[in-house]
Structure 1
Protein backbone atom coordinates (compact mmCIF):
# COMPACT_ATOMS: atom_id res chain seq x y z
CA UNK A 1 0.00 0.00 0.00
CA UNK A 2 1.31 3.45 -0.87
CA UNK A 3 0.10 7.05 -0.99
CA UNK A 4 1.38 10.26 -2.53
CA UNK A 5 1.35 13.91 -1.59
CA UNK A 6 2.54 17.04 -3.31
CA UNK A 7 3.22 20.67 -2.46
CA UNK A 8 4.02 23.78 -4.47
CA UNK A 9 6.98 26.04 -3.89
CA UNK A 10 7.13 29.82 -3.79
CA UNK A 11 9.04 32.71 -5.34
CA UNK A 12 9.95 34.41 -2.10
CA UNK A 13 7.59 36.89 -0.53
CA UNK A 14 5.47 39.87 -1.42
CA UNK A 15 5.81 41.23 2.10
CA UNK A 16 7.91 40.21 5.09
CA UNK A 17 8.55 41.99 8.36
CA UNK A 18 7.19 42.45 11.89
CA UNK A 19 3.51 43.15 12.56
CA UNK A 20 1.17 43.82 15.48
CA UNK A 21 -1.23 41.05 16.42
CA UNK A 22 -4.59 41.15 18.17
CA UNK A 23 -2.69 40.37 21.38
CA UNK A 24 -0.88 43.75 21.01
CA UNK A 25 2.44 41.93 20.60
CA UNK A 26 4.83 42.03 17.68
CA UNK A 27 5.07 38.97 15.45
CA UNK A 28 7.35 38.12 12.57
CA UNK A 29 5.18 37.59 9.52
CA UNK A 30 5.15 37.23 5.76
CA UNK A 31 2.92 36.94 2.71
CA UNK A 32 4.20 34.23 0.39
CA UNK A 33 4.17 34.45 -3.41
CA UNK A 34 3.14 30.93 -4.54
CA UNK A 35 5.12 29.46 -7.46
CA UNK A 36 3.14 26.62 -8.99
CA UNK A 37 5.78 25.44 -11.46
CA UNK A 38 8.10 24.46 -8.60
CA UNK A 39 6.96 21.57 -6.42
CA UNK A 40 7.81 18.47 -4.42
CA UNK A 41 6.15 15.06 -4.63
CA UNK A 42 6.38 12.46 -1.87
CA UNK A 43 5.37 8.81 -2.03
CA UNK A 44 4.97 6.91 1.26
CA UNK A 45 4.73 3.13 1.44
CA UNK A 46 4.15 0.78 4.36
CA UNK A 47 6.95 -1.81 4.68
CA UNK A 48 7.80 -4.72 6.93
CA UNK A 49 9.59 -3.97 10.20
CA UNK A 50 9.77 -0.73 12.14
CA UNK A 51 12.27 1.28 10.12
CA UNK A 52 11.65 4.64 8.46
CA UNK A 53 13.58 4.84 5.20
CA UNK A 54 13.84 8.10 3.27
CA UNK A 55 15.20 8.61 -0.26
CA UNK A 56 17.23 10.60 -1.08
CA UNK A 57 19.04 10.27 2.24
CA UNK A 58 19.88 13.97 2.49
CA UNK A 59 16.16 14.84 2.81
CA UNK A 60 16.52 14.95 6.59
CA UNK A 61 13.76 17.52 7.11
CA UNK A 62 11.31 15.25 5.31
CA UNK A 63 12.25 12.44 7.69
CA UNK A 64 11.91 14.75 10.70
CA UNK A 65 8.50 15.89 9.46
CA UNK A 66 7.25 12.31 9.20
CA UNK A 67 8.50 11.48 12.69
CA UNK A 68 6.86 14.61 14.16
CA UNK A 69 3.61 13.72 12.43
CA UNK A 70 3.60 10.10 13.63
CA UNK A 71 4.29 11.16 17.23
CA UNK A 72 1.66 13.90 17.25
CA UNK A 73 -1.02 11.71 15.71
CA UNK A 74 -0.07 8.74 17.94
CA UNK A 75 -0.05 6.33 14.99
CA UNK A 76 1.37 2.86 15.60
CA UNK A 77 2.54 2.45 11.99
CA UNK A 78 6.15 1.28 12.23
CA UNK A 79 7.78 0.69 8.87
CA UNK A 80 7.52 3.35 6.15
CA UNK A 81 9.52 3.98 3.01
CA UNK A 82 9.41 7.55 1.71
CA UNK A 83 10.62 8.78 -1.66
CA UNK A 84 10.79 12.55 -2.22
CA UNK A 85 11.21 14.16 -5.64
CA UNK A 86 11.50 17.88 -6.28
CA UNK A 87 12.37 20.32 -9.05
CA UNK A 88 13.35 23.04 -6.57
CA UNK A 89 17.03 23.97 -6.10
CA UNK A 90 17.96 24.33 -2.45
CA UNK A 91 19.12 27.51 -0.75
CA UNK A 92 17.69 30.16 -3.09
CA UNK A 93 14.34 31.06 -1.52
CA UNK A 94 12.00 28.85 -3.53
CA UNK A 95 10.69 26.88 -0.57
CA UNK A 96 12.57 23.62 -1.12
CA UNK A 97 12.47 22.44 2.49
CA UNK A 98 8.88 23.54 3.16
CA UNK A 99 7.58 21.80 0.04
CA UNK A 100 9.43 18.58 0.95
CA UNK A 101 7.91 18.73 4.43
CA UNK A 102 4.37 19.50 3.28
CA UNK A 103 4.43 16.82 0.57
CA UNK A 104 5.81 14.28 3.07
CA UNK A 105 3.15 14.97 5.69
CA UNK A 106 0.37 14.86 3.11
CA UNK A 107 1.63 11.53 1.75
CA UNK A 108 2.03 10.02 5.22
CA UNK A 109 -1.38 11.25 6.36
CA UNK A 110 -3.01 9.74 3.28
CA UNK A 111 -1.18 6.45 3.84
CA UNK A 112 -2.56 6.28 7.37
CA UNK A 113 -6.06 7.44 6.46
CA UNK A 114 -5.80 10.78 8.25
CA UNK A 115 -6.90 14.19 6.99
CA UNK A 116 -5.05 17.30 8.13
CA UNK A 117 -6.22 20.89 8.00
CA UNK A 118 -3.70 23.32 6.47
CA UNK A 119 -3.38 25.04 9.85
CA UNK A 120 -2.26 21.78 11.49
CA UNK A 121 0.13 21.15 8.62
CA UNK A 122 1.57 24.63 9.09
CA UNK A 123 2.26 24.00 12.79
CA UNK A 124 3.99 20.72 11.98
CA UNK A 125 6.12 22.40 9.32
CA UNK A 126 7.24 25.10 11.75
CA UNK A 127 8.01 22.48 14.38
CA UNK A 128 10.16 20.63 11.87
CA UNK A 129 12.20 23.48 10.41
CA UNK A 130 11.79 26.38 12.91
CA UNK A 131 10.35 28.67 10.20
CA UNK A 132 7.99 27.89 7.34
CA UNK A 133 6.29 29.72 4.51
CA UNK A 134 2.53 29.53 4.08
CA UNK A 135 2.40 27.52 0.85
CA UNK A 136 0.15 24.86 2.40
CA UNK A 137 -2.70 27.41 2.33
CA UNK A 138 -4.48 27.71 -1.02
CA UNK A 139 -6.83 30.36 -2.34
CA UNK A 140 -6.70 33.73 -0.63
CA UNK A 141 -3.31 34.88 0.68
CA UNK A 142 -2.49 35.02 4.36
CA UNK A 143 -0.14 36.97 6.56
CA UNK A 144 1.44 34.10 8.49
CA UNK A 145 3.80 33.97 11.45
CA UNK A 146 6.53 31.83 9.97
CA UNK A 147 8.16 31.05 13.32
CA UNK A 148 4.97 30.49 15.31
CA UNK A 149 2.81 28.46 12.96
CA UNK A 150 -0.15 30.84 13.23
CA UNK A 151 -2.04 33.16 10.87
CA UNK A 152 -2.17 36.88 11.63
CA UNK A 153 -4.55 37.80 8.83
CA UNK A 154 -6.46 36.14 6.02
CA UNK A 155 -7.00 38.59 3.20
CA UNK A 156 -10.38 38.73 1.52
CA UNK A 157 -9.28 38.69 -2.12
CA UNK A 158 -6.84 36.67 -4.20
CA UNK A 159 -3.58 37.99 -5.60
CA UNK A 160 -4.34 39.54 -9.02
CA UNK A 161 -2.76 38.05 -12.11
CA UNK A 162 0.58 39.35 -13.36
CA UNK A 163 3.55 38.22 -15.40
CA UNK A 164 6.93 37.75 -13.76
CA UNK A 165 10.55 37.80 -14.83
CA UNK A 166 12.35 35.52 -12.39
CA UNK A 167 16.10 35.74 -11.83
CA UNK A 168 18.52 34.10 -9.42
CA UNK A 169 20.90 36.97 -8.64
CA UNK A 170 23.54 34.81 -6.93
CA UNK A 171 23.40 31.21 -8.19
CA UNK A 172 26.75 30.48 -6.55
CA UNK A 173 25.72 31.93 -3.16
CA UNK A 174 22.85 29.90 -1.66
CA UNK A 175 21.56 30.98 1.74
CA UNK A 176 21.53 28.64 4.73
CA UNK A 177 18.42 29.79 6.59
CA UNK A 178 19.44 27.90 9.74
CA UNK A 179 22.60 30.00 9.98
CA UNK A 180 21.38 33.35 8.65
CA UNK A 181 20.08 35.40 11.63
CA UNK A 182 16.55 36.86 11.59
CA UNK A 183 16.40 40.58 10.83
CA UNK A 184 16.26 42.95 13.80
CA UNK A 185 13.98 45.70 12.50
CA UNK A 186 14.01 49.19 13.96
CA UNK A 187 10.97 51.21 15.08
CA UNK A 188 10.72 53.13 11.81
CA UNK A 189 10.69 49.89 9.82
CA UNK A 190 8.08 48.32 12.09
CA UNK A 191 5.85 51.37 11.59
CA UNK A 192 6.34 51.10 7.83
CA UNK A 193 5.40 47.42 7.85
CA UNK A 194 1.98 48.34 9.27
CA UNK A 195 1.53 50.85 6.44
CA UNK A 196 2.50 48.19 3.91
CA UNK A 197 0.03 45.78 5.49
CA UNK A 198 -2.76 48.31 4.95
CA UNK A 199 -1.56 48.92 1.38
CA UNK A 200 -1.57 45.15 0.82
CA UNK A 201 -5.23 45.01 1.86
CA UNK A 202 -6.06 47.79 -0.58
CA UNK A 203 -4.04 46.20 -3.38
CA UNK A 204 -5.99 42.96 -3.05
CA UNK A 205 -9.36 44.64 -2.53
CA UNK A 206 -8.97 46.72 -5.70
CA UNK A 207 -6.86 44.18 -7.66
CA UNK A 208 -4.24 46.92 -8.03
CA UNK A 209 -0.93 45.68 -9.41
CA UNK A 210 0.48 49.15 -8.85
CA UNK A 211 -0.17 48.95 -5.10
CA UNK A 212 0.96 45.32 -4.95
CA UNK A 213 4.21 46.31 -6.65
CA UNK A 214 4.73 49.14 -4.17
CA UNK A 215 4.33 46.72 -1.25
CA UNK A 216 6.73 44.18 -2.72
CA UNK A 217 9.31 46.78 -3.73
CA UNK A 218 9.38 48.53 -0.39
CA UNK A 219 9.64 45.22 1.49
CA UNK A 220 12.53 44.22 -0.79
CA UNK A 221 14.32 47.53 -0.20
CA UNK A 222 14.07 47.13 3.57
CA UNK A 223 15.40 43.59 3.26
CA UNK A 224 18.50 44.88 1.51
CA UNK A 225 19.74 46.03 4.91
CA UNK A 226 19.62 42.48 6.25
CA UNK A 227 20.28 40.20 3.26
CA UNK A 228 21.65 42.31 0.39
CA UNK A 229 20.91 40.93 -3.07
CA UNK A 230 23.62 41.46 -5.71
CA UNK A 231 22.59 43.73 -8.61
CA UNK A 232 19.48 44.87 -6.73
CA UNK A 233 19.92 48.58 -7.47
CA UNK A 234 20.47 47.89 -11.18
CA UNK A 235 17.40 45.64 -11.34
CA UNK A 236 15.29 48.24 -9.54
CA UNK A 237 16.42 50.95 -11.97
CA UNK A 238 15.64 48.65 -14.91
CA UNK A 239 12.23 47.89 -13.44
CA UNK A 240 11.37 51.58 -13.08
CA UNK A 241 12.66 52.53 -16.53
CA UNK A 242 10.52 49.89 -18.26
CA UNK A 243 7.29 50.59 -16.38
CA UNK A 244 7.20 47.39 -14.35
CA UNK A 245 4.92 47.37 -11.31
CA UNK A 246 7.74 46.54 -8.91
CA UNK A 247 10.20 43.95 -7.68
CA UNK A 248 9.84 41.23 -5.09
CA UNK A 249 12.51 39.08 -3.47
CA UNK A 250 13.06 35.93 -1.52
CA UNK A 251 13.83 37.52 1.85
CA UNK A 252 15.94 34.52 2.87
CA UNK A 253 17.14 33.44 -0.57
CA UNK A 254 18.48 34.75 -3.87
CA UNK A 255 15.44 35.01 -6.14
CA UNK A 256 14.29 38.38 -7.47
CA UNK A 257 11.09 38.84 -9.46
CA UNK A 258 10.05 41.73 -11.70
CA UNK A 259 6.25 42.21 -11.75
CA UNK A 260 4.80 42.99 -15.17
CA UNK A 261 1.43 43.44 -16.84
CA UNK A 262 -0.37 40.08 -17.18
CA UNK A 263 -1.09 40.75 -20.86
CA UNK A 264 2.61 40.62 -21.79
CA UNK A 265 4.19 37.50 -23.22
CA UNK A 266 7.79 36.40 -23.66
CA UNK A 267 8.05 37.96 -27.14
CA UNK A 268 6.96 41.41 -26.03
CA UNK A 269 9.54 44.15 -26.59
CA UNK A 270 9.57 45.13 -22.91
CA UNK A 271 10.18 41.56 -21.78
CA UNK A 272 12.94 41.03 -24.33
CA UNK A 273 14.63 44.29 -23.33
CA UNK A 274 14.58 43.50 -19.61
CA UNK A 275 15.94 40.01 -20.17
CA UNK A 276 18.64 41.40 -22.46
CA UNK A 277 19.70 43.93 -19.85
CA UNK A 278 19.81 41.19 -17.21
CA UNK A 279 22.13 39.22 -19.49
CA UNK A 280 24.44 42.24 -19.54
CA UNK A 281 24.70 41.72 -15.78
CA UNK A 282 25.46 38.01 -16.42
CA UNK A 283 22.05 37.10 -15.02
CA UNK A 284 19.88 34.46 -16.69
CA UNK A 285 16.15 34.97 -16.28
CA UNK A 286 12.88 33.17 -16.89
CA UNK A 287 9.59 34.71 -18.03
CA UNK A 288 6.45 33.37 -16.38
CA UNK A 289 2.75 33.98 -16.91
CA UNK A 290 0.67 33.96 -13.71
CA UNK A 291 3.29 32.08 -11.64
CA UNK A 292 0.98 31.91 -8.63
CA UNK A 293 -2.00 30.36 -10.45
Structure 2
Protein backbone atom coordinates (compact mmCIF):
# COMPACT_ATOMS: atom_id res chain seq x y z
CA UNK A 1 0.00 0.00 0.00
CA UNK A 2 1.56 3.32 -0.99
CA UNK A 3 2.53 5.72 1.75
CA UNK A 4 0.54 8.95 1.87
CA UNK A 5 2.38 11.91 0.39
CA UNK A 6 3.99 14.19 2.93
CA UNK A 7 4.71 17.85 2.34
CA UNK A 8 8.10 19.35 3.09
CA UNK A 9 8.24 21.47 6.23
CA UNK A 10 7.72 25.15 5.61
CA UNK A 11 10.93 27.14 5.66
CA UNK A 12 11.12 30.12 7.98
CA UNK A 13 11.24 33.34 5.96
CA UNK A 14 14.48 35.19 5.40
CA UNK A 15 14.02 38.96 5.36
CA UNK A 16 16.53 41.14 3.50
CA UNK A 17 17.57 44.75 3.13
CA UNK A 18 19.95 46.13 0.49
CA UNK A 19 21.71 49.45 -0.04
CA UNK A 20 24.18 50.56 -2.71
CA UNK A 21 27.50 52.22 -1.95
CA UNK A 22 29.43 55.01 -3.66
CA UNK A 23 32.60 55.58 -5.64
CA UNK A 24 33.67 58.59 -3.63
CA UNK A 25 32.17 61.95 -4.59
CA UNK A 26 31.76 63.92 -7.77
CA UNK A 27 32.30 66.99 -5.60
CA UNK A 28 32.84 67.72 -1.92
CA UNK A 29 33.34 71.18 -0.49
CA UNK A 30 32.01 74.08 1.55
CA UNK A 31 28.41 75.09 0.90
CA UNK A 32 27.04 78.55 1.60
CA UNK A 33 23.48 78.65 0.35
CA UNK A 34 20.25 80.35 1.25
CA UNK A 35 19.40 77.34 3.37
CA UNK A 36 22.60 77.49 5.43
CA UNK A 37 26.23 76.46 5.47
CA UNK A 38 27.77 73.03 5.63
CA UNK A 39 29.95 70.42 3.95
CA UNK A 40 28.22 69.60 0.68
CA UNK A 41 28.74 66.44 -1.33
CA UNK A 42 27.40 64.89 -4.52
CA UNK A 43 28.23 61.21 -4.11
CA UNK A 44 28.52 58.85 -7.08
CA UNK A 45 26.20 55.89 -6.33
CA UNK A 46 27.48 52.62 -7.81
CA UNK A 47 26.27 49.07 -8.30
CA UNK A 48 28.04 47.60 -5.31
CA UNK A 49 26.03 46.76 -2.25
CA UNK A 50 25.70 46.10 1.45
CA UNK A 51 23.17 43.40 2.37
CA UNK A 52 21.54 42.54 5.68
CA UNK A 53 19.41 39.45 6.33
CA UNK A 54 17.15 38.43 9.20
CA UNK A 55 16.61 34.66 9.43
CA UNK A 56 13.24 34.43 11.16
CA UNK A 57 12.75 31.76 13.80
CA UNK A 58 16.43 31.03 14.43
CA UNK A 59 18.17 31.59 17.72
CA UNK A 60 20.26 34.73 17.84
CA UNK A 61 20.48 38.39 18.71
CA UNK A 62 21.92 41.46 17.03
CA UNK A 63 24.44 41.82 19.86
CA UNK A 64 25.81 38.34 19.10
CA UNK A 65 25.26 38.22 15.35
CA UNK A 66 26.73 41.65 14.48
CA UNK A 67 29.72 41.99 16.83
CA UNK A 68 31.70 44.26 14.48
CA UNK A 69 28.72 46.40 13.43
CA UNK A 70 28.13 48.67 16.41
CA UNK A 71 26.27 51.29 14.35
CA UNK A 72 23.97 48.68 12.86
CA UNK A 73 23.22 47.42 16.37
CA UNK A 74 22.58 50.99 17.49
CA UNK A 75 20.17 51.71 14.63
CA UNK A 76 18.24 48.51 15.39
CA UNK A 77 17.71 49.75 18.95
CA UNK A 78 16.70 53.22 17.70
CA UNK A 79 14.26 51.79 15.18
CA UNK A 80 12.60 49.49 17.71
CA UNK A 81 12.31 52.26 20.29
CA UNK A 82 10.94 54.76 17.76
CA UNK A 83 8.19 52.43 16.56
CA UNK A 84 7.66 50.67 19.91
CA UNK A 85 8.40 47.28 18.44
CA UNK A 86 10.12 44.10 19.63
CA UNK A 87 12.15 41.76 17.46
CA UNK A 88 10.77 38.26 16.93
CA UNK A 89 13.19 35.34 17.27
CA UNK A 90 15.78 35.38 14.50
CA UNK A 91 19.41 35.61 13.50
CA UNK A 92 21.15 38.47 11.65
CA UNK A 93 23.57 38.00 8.75
CA UNK A 94 25.55 40.63 6.81
CA UNK A 95 27.64 40.76 3.63
CA UNK A 96 29.08 43.60 1.57
CA UNK A 97 31.12 44.31 -1.55
CA UNK A 98 32.06 47.76 -0.19
CA UNK A 99 35.51 48.15 1.33
CA UNK A 100 35.63 49.79 4.75
CA UNK A 101 37.48 53.11 5.04
CA UNK A 102 38.02 53.52 1.29
CA UNK A 103 35.31 56.06 0.52
CA UNK A 104 32.54 53.72 -0.61
CA UNK A 105 30.02 54.77 2.09
CA UNK A 106 30.25 51.23 3.47
CA UNK A 107 29.18 52.17 7.00
CA UNK A 108 26.17 54.23 5.92
CA UNK A 109 25.15 51.52 3.44
CA UNK A 110 25.32 48.93 6.25
CA UNK A 111 23.02 51.07 8.41
CA UNK A 112 20.54 51.76 5.61
CA UNK A 113 20.46 48.06 4.63
CA UNK A 114 19.67 47.31 8.29
CA UNK A 115 16.81 49.83 8.33
CA UNK A 116 15.40 48.40 5.10
CA UNK A 117 15.61 44.89 6.53
CA UNK A 118 13.66 46.07 9.58
CA UNK A 119 11.13 47.78 7.30
CA UNK A 120 10.62 44.51 5.42
CA UNK A 121 10.32 42.56 8.67
CA UNK A 122 7.66 44.88 10.09
CA UNK A 123 5.93 45.77 6.78
CA UNK A 124 6.91 49.43 7.04
CA UNK A 125 8.54 51.92 4.65
CA UNK A 126 10.92 54.47 6.16
CA UNK A 127 11.04 57.73 4.18
CA UNK A 128 14.37 59.39 3.36
CA UNK A 129 13.65 61.94 6.09
CA UNK A 130 12.99 59.15 8.59
CA UNK A 131 16.20 57.34 7.60
CA UNK A 132 18.21 60.56 8.00
CA UNK A 133 16.65 60.95 11.44
CA UNK A 134 17.65 57.41 12.43
CA UNK A 135 21.20 58.04 11.23
CA UNK A 136 21.19 61.07 13.53
CA UNK A 137 24.54 61.45 15.23
CA UNK A 138 25.73 57.94 14.34
CA UNK A 139 27.98 59.32 11.60
CA UNK A 140 28.43 61.95 8.91
CA UNK A 141 26.57 60.08 6.22
CA UNK A 142 26.32 59.82 2.45
CA UNK A 143 22.89 60.04 0.76
CA UNK A 144 22.87 56.37 -0.25
CA UNK A 145 19.22 56.10 0.83
CA UNK A 146 18.17 58.43 -2.02
CA UNK A 147 17.48 57.47 -5.62
CA UNK A 148 19.73 59.23 -8.11
CA UNK A 149 22.18 62.05 -7.56
CA UNK A 150 21.72 64.62 -4.82
CA UNK A 151 23.43 67.62 -3.25
CA UNK A 152 23.64 66.65 0.41
CA UNK A 153 24.93 68.41 3.51
CA UNK A 154 26.71 65.46 5.06
CA UNK A 155 27.44 67.13 8.38
CA UNK A 156 23.74 67.97 8.83
CA UNK A 157 22.11 64.88 7.26
CA UNK A 158 20.12 67.18 4.97
CA UNK A 159 19.24 67.05 1.27
CA UNK A 160 19.51 70.39 -0.55
CA UNK A 161 18.71 69.30 -4.15
CA UNK A 162 17.88 66.05 -5.94
CA UNK A 163 18.77 65.72 -9.61
CA UNK A 164 17.11 62.48 -10.65
CA UNK A 165 18.69 59.69 -12.66
CA UNK A 166 20.87 61.70 -15.04
CA UNK A 167 23.69 61.80 -15.84
CA UNK A 168 24.99 58.26 -15.48
CA UNK A 169 28.64 57.19 -15.55
CA UNK A 170 30.85 54.19 -16.03
CA UNK A 171 34.08 54.10 -14.04
CA UNK A 172 37.44 52.37 -13.94
CA UNK A 173 39.11 52.83 -10.56
CA UNK A 174 41.71 51.62 -8.10
CA UNK A 175 41.97 51.54 -4.34
CA UNK A 176 45.31 52.96 -3.21
CA UNK A 177 44.93 51.19 0.13
CA UNK A 178 44.92 52.17 3.76
CA UNK A 179 41.94 53.05 5.93
CA UNK A 180 40.99 56.72 6.24
CA UNK A 181 39.36 58.02 9.43
CA UNK A 182 37.07 60.87 8.40
CA UNK A 183 37.15 62.35 11.90
CA UNK A 184 40.93 62.82 11.70
CA UNK A 185 40.45 64.94 8.56
CA UNK A 186 37.78 67.22 10.00
CA UNK A 187 39.98 70.16 10.98
CA UNK A 188 42.36 69.96 7.96
CA UNK A 189 39.30 69.90 5.70
CA UNK A 190 37.75 72.96 7.30
CA UNK A 191 41.03 74.92 7.02
CA UNK A 192 41.33 73.86 3.38
CA UNK A 193 37.75 74.88 2.63
CA UNK A 194 38.24 78.29 4.23
CA UNK A 195 41.31 78.90 2.06
CA UNK A 196 39.67 77.75 -1.19
CA UNK A 197 36.05 78.86 -0.77
CA UNK A 198 35.93 80.91 -4.04
CA UNK A 199 37.25 77.97 -6.09
CA UNK A 200 34.62 75.64 -4.64
CA UNK A 201 31.88 78.22 -5.23
CA UNK A 202 32.85 78.32 -8.92
CA UNK A 203 32.81 74.52 -9.15
CA UNK A 204 29.38 74.24 -7.55
CA UNK A 205 28.20 77.06 -9.80
CA UNK A 206 29.14 74.99 -12.87
CA UNK A 207 28.23 71.55 -11.62
CA UNK A 208 24.71 72.11 -10.29
CA UNK A 209 23.24 73.42 -13.57
CA UNK A 210 25.05 70.60 -15.39
CA UNK A 211 23.47 68.04 -13.05
CA UNK A 212 20.02 69.53 -13.64
CA UNK A 213 20.62 69.38 -17.41
CA UNK A 214 22.20 65.91 -17.37
CA UNK A 215 25.36 67.33 -18.98
CA UNK A 216 27.71 64.45 -18.17
CA UNK A 217 30.86 65.91 -19.72
CA UNK A 218 30.58 69.12 -17.68
CA UNK A 219 29.84 67.17 -14.48
CA UNK A 220 32.91 64.97 -15.09
CA UNK A 221 35.10 68.02 -15.70
CA UNK A 222 33.90 69.58 -12.44
CA UNK A 223 34.56 66.29 -10.65
CA UNK A 224 38.15 66.51 -11.91
CA UNK A 225 38.42 70.04 -10.50
CA UNK A 226 37.14 68.92 -7.09
CA UNK A 227 39.51 65.94 -7.12
CA UNK A 228 42.41 68.29 -7.90
CA UNK A 229 41.53 70.58 -5.00
CA UNK A 230 41.33 67.62 -2.62
CA UNK A 231 44.98 66.79 -3.34
CA UNK A 232 45.88 69.48 -0.79
CA UNK A 233 44.18 67.51 2.00
CA UNK A 234 44.36 63.83 1.13
CA UNK A 235 46.65 63.43 -1.91
CA UNK A 236 46.34 60.38 -4.13
CA UNK A 237 49.69 58.87 -5.14
CA UNK A 238 48.62 58.26 -8.73
CA UNK A 239 46.92 61.61 -9.39
CA UNK A 240 49.66 62.91 -11.72
CA UNK A 241 49.70 59.69 -13.75
CA UNK A 242 45.92 59.66 -14.19
CA UNK A 243 45.83 63.34 -15.11
CA UNK A 244 48.62 62.91 -17.66
CA UNK A 245 46.89 60.00 -19.46
CA UNK A 246 43.27 61.15 -19.06
CA UNK A 247 42.76 62.38 -22.64
CA UNK A 248 44.70 59.54 -24.22
CA UNK A 249 42.58 57.01 -22.35
CA UNK A 250 39.42 58.87 -23.40
CA UNK A 251 38.16 59.59 -19.89
CA UNK A 252 35.59 62.34 -19.35
CA UNK A 253 37.02 63.07 -15.92
CA UNK A 254 38.62 61.86 -12.71
CA UNK A 255 36.73 60.90 -9.58
CA UNK A 256 38.15 60.41 -6.08
CA UNK A 257 37.00 59.58 -2.60
CA UNK A 258 37.71 62.94 -0.99
CA UNK A 259 38.12 61.31 2.42
CA UNK A 260 39.08 57.86 1.18
CA UNK A 261 41.59 55.93 -0.92
CA UNK A 262 39.79 55.58 -4.27
CA UNK A 263 40.73 57.27 -7.54
CA UNK A 264 39.57 56.50 -11.05
CA UNK A 265 38.36 57.59 -14.45
CA UNK A 266 34.80 58.55 -15.39
CA UNK A 267 33.29 57.64 -18.76
CA UNK A 268 29.97 58.71 -20.23
CA UNK A 269 29.61 55.36 -22.02
CA UNK A 270 30.77 51.85 -21.21
CA UNK A 271 34.33 51.07 -22.33
CA UNK A 272 34.38 48.31 -24.94
CA UNK A 273 36.61 45.23 -24.43
CA UNK A 274 39.62 46.80 -26.16
CA UNK A 275 39.26 50.00 -24.14
CA UNK A 276 38.96 47.98 -20.91
CA UNK A 277 42.16 46.16 -21.83
CA UNK A 278 43.98 49.47 -22.35
CA UNK A 279 42.78 50.73 -18.99
CA UNK A 280 43.75 47.50 -17.22
CA UNK A 281 47.22 47.68 -18.76
CA UNK A 282 47.63 51.32 -17.71
CA UNK A 283 46.75 50.62 -14.08
CA UNK A 284 48.85 47.43 -14.08
CA UNK A 285 51.77 49.60 -15.13
CA UNK A 286 51.17 51.60 -11.94
CA UNK A 287 51.24 48.37 -9.95
CA UNK A 288 47.49 48.44 -9.38
CA UNK A 289 44.49 46.25 -10.24
CA UNK A 290 41.79 48.09 -12.19
CA UNK A 291 38.17 47.65 -11.14
CA UNK A 292 35.15 48.51 -13.27
CA UNK A 293 31.72 49.62 -12.14
CA UNK A 294 28.68 51.60 -13.22
CA UNK A 295 26.62 54.23 -11.47
CA UNK A 296 23.12 53.29 -10.32
CA UNK A 297 21.68 56.22 -12.27
- What TM-score comes out, normalization by structure 1 length? 0.86
In the alignment, what sits opposite 1:235? 242
Match of 1:22 among 14, 34, 37: 34
In the alignment, what sits opposite 1:217? 224
The answer to whether the 8 Å contact 2:30/2:193 transfers is no
Deviates more, 1:272-281 or 1:46-55: 46-55
Q: CA RMSD for the aligned pairs?
A: 2.4
In the alignment, what sits opposite 2:147? 138
Between the aligned partners of 1:253 and 1:50, the Cα distance in structure 2 is 34
In the alignment, what sits opposite 1:250? 257
The answer to whether the 8 Å contact 1:248/1:256 transfers is yes
In the alignment, what sits opposite 1:9? 21
- What TM-score comes out, normalization by structure 2 length? 0.85
In the alignment, what sits opposite 1:276? 281
* Deviation for aligned residue 1:106: 0.9
The answer to whether the 8 Å contact 1:45/1:111 transfers is no
| 1:85–1:51 CA distance, 2 compared to 1 (3 A) | closer
Match of 2:51 among 41, 49, 54: 41
Q: How does 1:1-293 map to 2 (within 5 A)?
A: 2-23=14-35, 25-36=36-47, 38-45=48-55, 52-77=62-87, 81-128=91-138, 130-139=139-148, 141-155=149-163, 157-168=164-175, 170-171=176-177, 173-181=178-186, 183-184=189-190, 185-187=192-194, 189-268=196-275, 271-288=276-293, 290-293=294-297
Between the aligned partners of 1:123 and 1:192, the Cα distance in structure 2 is 32
In structure 2, runs of 5+ residues without a counterpart are: 1-12
In structure 1, runs of 5+ residues without a counterpart are: none
Between the aligned partners of 1:3 and 1:263, the Cα distance in structure 2 is 34
* Deviation for aligned residue 1:233: 1.4
The answer to whether the 8 Å contact 1:126/1:146 transfers is no
| 1:48–1:263 CA distance, 2 compared to 1 (3 A) | closer
